[in-house]
Every structure is written in C-alpha cells, then in structure tokens.
Chain A
Amino acid sequence: MPVLTADRVEEMLRRGTSARLPENGPPRFRRGERVVARNINPVTHTRVPRYLRGRVGTIERCHGVFIFPDAHAHDGTKEPQQLYSVRFEAAELWGPDAPVATDAVYVDLFEPYLAPAP
C-alpha cells in the first residue's frame, strides 16, 4: 500500500477498520444460555483473559460475526466467528473473596472460546 499522506489521514480515520463480517449462519449459543470459558492457553494471541478460563457465565447477547483475532494475529486470516457478550457473576470469578458477590463482569468472547456449561 502507498505511504499514508497528510491529505488521506482524515478519511482513513473516519472510515476506520471494522472487524465485523457478514453473518454466516446461526450462532451456536442463545441469550440466557449458560456457557463455560474454555481453559485454553495458547502461546499465540488470544482474547480470552485468564481470569475467565473455566468460569461459567450466561450469554447476554450475540454481537454478530467478527474477525477472529487468534487467527488474524497469526497469519492475517479473516476467519469469521460469532462474538458474544457473556455475563459472569463476581462470586463465580473470585469465589468467597468477591467484594460484592452479585456485581457482574460482561466480557466479549468468541464462540471458539466457549463451550456449553456442564
């Protein structure tokens, strides 16, 4: 790609680079469904934080299909994956040391990071 010149900066910033991709089939999980964040530990790039792995949450919403960052960081592949907002209760994340058990954390997680809760 050519060098970014001053006159093209504004347009580049305004256009942005959305990671959204066209819908490619029904999502695997539905709102209200209980899921567990898988205990994956790749040495490569991933966006499932350690504090969630093995923790059970509830699907809050389906954001739609986006570029899967794990593959995109690895070799530039634009792999479409469903992205969900998942709700985790503080007690589930932090156990008896949760300052307020009923506060919650909502995290955006891709379908490959999730499995049905046991």
Chain B
Amino acid sequence: MNGAHDLGGMHGFGPIEAEPDEPVFHAEWERRAFALTLAMGAHGAWNIDMSRYARERMAPGAYLATSYYEHWLHGLELLLVEKGFLTRQEIDRRMAEIAAQEAQEA
C-alpha cells in the first residue's frame, strides 16, 4: 500500500541523530512490545508479511509522529483483534482497570 512507511526519497525529516552507545531498548514497555510480538507470532496465526501490513495500515500522520515500537504495538493490537485473540472492548476495559489500580496505588 502507498503508506507513510514508504519513505525512500522523502524530504524534510532533518538530521539522522544517531545516539552514541544507545541501549537495545529505551524503556520497559519497548521490551514488552518486542517480546509480545514475537511470542504471539509463534502461534502461526499470522506471518511476517501480515505483520508488516498491519503496521503499514497505521494512519500516516500517526505513523510519522510515533516511534518504532509504537508501530509494532499498533500492528500487534490490530492483528490480535483481526485474528480473534482479543476484542477492543477487552483491551479498553483492561486499560481502564490498570489505570484505576495505578491511580489508587499512587
């Protein structure tokens, strides 16, 4: 698809900004997003090409404004719902539950 991911030759992104000695993961949520994606992929419900297509289907503005593992998270969630592992309602409900729990603990 002609998505925002198809970046070859685009202008306007500015300098490359390589971080010296950067860590493999920058936050715990990145580790989890990475591992969950690989672990769920192992079920064989989708293949790597389906994974890429799921990430590509992120709205172009959102794709360009978010980081790499946020693309992975979007793709994972889309596949989990499309393949029937989870529903959006379940995810929303669990997010609300965790948020409430964390607010209480704070």
Q: Do chains A and B touch in the complex (CB under 8 A)?
A: yes
A residues within 8 Å of B by Cβ?
1, 3-4, 12, 17, 41-46, 49-52, 67, 69-70, 72-73, 76, 93-94
Chain B residues in 8 Å Cβ range of A67: 49
Chain B residues in 8 Å Cβ range of A69: 49, 52
Query: Which B1-52 residues sit within 8 Å CB-CB of chain A?
Result: 1-2, 6, 8-9, 39, 42-44, 47-50, 52
A43 in contact with B1 given A73-B49, A73-B50, A73-B53 (CB within 8 Å): yes
Bound: A52/B1 CA distance, A: 14
Q: Are A50 and B8 in contact (CB under 8 A)?
A: yes
Q: What's the interface size class on B, roughly?
A: 10 to 19
B residues within 8 Å of A by Cβ?
1-2, 6, 8-9, 39, 42-44, 47-50, 52-53, 56
Bound: A75/B49 CA distance, A: 10
Lowest 5 CB-CB distances: which A-B pairs, in order? A73-B49, A45-B53, A4-B42, A51-B8, A51-B9
A45 in contact with B2 given A12-B42, A17-B48, A72-B49 (CB within 8 Å): no
